[in-house]
Structure 1
Amino acid sequence: MFNIFGKKPTPKEQQREIDRNLRKIGRDIERDRRELEREEKKLELEIKKLAKEGNREGCAVLAKQLVQLRKQKTRTYAANSKVQSIGVQNKAMGANIKLGEAMSTAAKTMSDMNKIMKPEQVAADMRAFGQASMKMDMTEEMVNDTLDDMLNESGDEEETDKIVTQVLDEIGIEISGKMAGAPSAVREKVGEGSKSRLMTDDEIEKQLAQLRSS
């Protein structure tokens, strides 16, 4: 079986061809049954006519023909039902073919994705990324600890004082004011210490005499 292009038809094309043939058979059966029904009516009228004429033998012959005709008409119903059943099966087969094609496409797609993605490689890359990230975190922590140690050991008190002053300024005037007013007693002690360290008149005279003699 080949199509008009001389190629073997696909399952889908075969399914459509079977469906067309089944519809044609169904139409032919319907046409035959309508013809049988017309013949049935003619025989019934003929039998009635012969019965009125009293032709018993003729009525018997036509009656047998009528019985055979009705049996044939019954067969057409059975045949048409069978054709319809085959049509339903053909449609179901067509649906299965489509489903099979869809599954085949899905399987091919997943296979292609697996080839591209390579799950083993992806898993290995993820593990490598996790290890590299952990190593980077550890390295950053070590660098920060080293910098903190270097800064703490620098002994730059002047820079530390500047930082403390800047922080106190950022905190606010209220705290700065409190700190400025708090050590009043200390200043008084410092003042007293300063007075105790002043030179006496005799000491001043001695230093002046040494300067003149020199």
Structure 2
Amino acid sequence: MQAKPGGEYNGGQPSSFSNAVWDVHVNLPQQVENASVSIAGDMIGLLRLWEAFIELDTGAGSFRIPAGQIGIGAAAGQFVPGVRLSEMTVSFEISMGRKERDALLTGEAGAGRYLLLSEPVGFAVTVSCGDQKMKSEDLQAIELALPLPEGLEPDRAINVLMLDRKGSVRLLPARRISRKGRMMAAANGAGEGIFVLACTRGER
């Protein structure tokens, strides 16, 4: 799937485009456990100039990232000399339900600090040129929203537990929001990693 500025994607079918709106919003099937969206490198370069955002929305949650955070220029220097942005592709990947990820987060929770409230969901950004791939570095401005489980007490303090690629765990404060009829927990300042809703044991 290739995205264009100003458009909203629903199952791969673009709506009308507006020259005044440069954010890219991609709706992915709600039932899939693993989803990937690819955008051409020259389009990412254009979105960076317009200070646009890219948002991916799935049943597992939504992730919103400034195009300027994606180091497409720095990545170009890691590939063959003289590579053009049009020869590069940026892929955004959302995945969930992997046992090894669940085990990693459960290990942290097993120390007695946190109670997990949802299944883990991963988010990663990959830049590729031909058969060469590299992870985008220093993504620290991702906004995410994860669906709240049904029956959760309205006064329960919630957080997002984040496991980054280096194996470090961070706790991101979350707030309740309503989006498209769903109650969700939203958090800012995330990077690439694995995310799960959590609360501190004994905390209300």
TM-score range, shorter chain: under 0.3
Higher strand proportion: 2
TM-score, normalization by structure 2: 0.17
Higher helix proportion: 1
Find the structure with the greater CA-based Rg: 1
